[in-house]
Amino acid sequence: MVRINKSTLVLADGTIFRGDQIGYSPKVKYATGEVVFNTVMSGYQEVITDPSYAGQIITFTYPHIGNYGVNKHDNESGRSHCRGVIVRDLARRHSNWRASNDLDSFLKEMEIPGIAGLDTRRLTMHIREAGAMPAAFGTLSDEELHEIAKSEPGTSGIDLVSQVTCKEKYELKGDRQDRLIVAMDFGIKATIIEHLKRIGDVIVVPSSTSAEEILRLKPNGVFLSNGPGDPEVVKGVPETIGKLIGKVPIFGICLGHQLLGLALGGTIKKMTFGHHGGNHPVKNMANGVVEITSQNHNFAIDPDSVTQVADVTHVNLNDGVCQGIRLKSAPAFSVQHHPEAGPGPHDSSYLFDDFAQLMEEAAK
């Protein structure tokens, strides 16, 4: 009989949840991070390996997680950067023809601690009211975990991009070798790279790469990737983007969208609990079409701060958050949501074709 260790989650405000220990067992007997909730019903492997979750503990709102196991093809990066995983019911056995392992073993392999068996509905409702906040979970006492949670800084004011960006540039051959895209890596997902390869060769460069270095590569377009944390502490990048605007077509996603906003002189606000999931309705302001989108962000552009230089192209119908901008005087646009999905719906995948068209027009 497998022995199950009890585990406790304590939020920074002192709220306590009881559960069972799953996944990796850290030697220090606890894990910390900022707790957020994600509403996807499938795609947990992609979520867990998305570098955008660096510094965060992921709560899955769907009650049964792990049903179809994991496989070697669905990772969004080489390793996980999240701090932990919270689930209601971890599947006791997995069943899928693609599966090569179970989720619990995967968490141990990736060295991700987790907690199961707690009331994720109550936890989600609490986060919606009080906001995403630091927490600690493990086998220490409630008092010890609470003190640790209070000392956890969360994601505001922390440079997480430097932890997930590539160390040196690398090149990938695409379907269109007459077109070159330079992708600035702030925590880029594998699925995004696959979409970019469909429209050109891709060179992925570290986040610290200068505008001069990027332009020396003679790209047809520059892509600003997704990534974790607070855009206002990614030093030097908005200035780099500012030097690229007007010289090469630009497309940004998620953190890349926010960094483009900062390059335009815009301001950023932190949301109460963010958008994390695969079912967010977003309105395309140009044609009125509502797209169901995948999202993962805790920060957003204040649209009023960029309207003099850019048009708002997409709006989240749940709360009115700015989901996309397009510059008025330069070939550049960005969206807050994830058109590549991975996981999620593909309603917005046309945006990669829009980027290809922008590069085509600039080449004329």
pLDDT in tens, 302-337: 999 999 999 999 999 999 999 999 999 999 999 999
Return the pLDDT at 86: 98
Element (H, E) at 224: strand 221-224
256 three-class SS: helix
Nearest-angstrom CA–CA distance, 36 and 196: 29
Q: Which of 146, 195, 337, 338 is catalytic?
A: 338
195 flagged as catalytic: no
CA angle 282, 283, 286 (to 5 degrees): 145
Asked if 67 and 95 count as a contact pair (C-beta separation under 8 A), the reply is: yes
Return the pLDDT at 1: 38
Q: Which of 254, 276, 291, 322 is catalytic?
A: 254
Q: Which tokens in the block code for residue 50?
A: 């998305």
Return the pLDDT at 243: 98
In the predicted model, residues of the chain with pLDDT beneath 70 are: 1-3
Integer angstrom CA distances of residue 129 from 13, 207, 269? 12, 35, 18
82 flagged as catalytic: no
Nearest-angstrom CA–CA distance, 112 and 107: 5
Task: Go through the domains of the chain in sequence order and give each one's CATH number.
Answer: 6-151 (3.50.30.20), 161-363 (3.40.50.880)
Q: Which of 34, 46, 152, 340 is catalytic?
A: 340
Eight-state DSSP code of residue 38: E
Return the pLDDT at 151: 97
Q: Which tokens in the block code for residue 337?
A: 């949501």
Return the pLDDT at 3: 57
For residue 91, give the amino acid letter.
A
Distance of CA 300 to the CA centre of its chain: 13
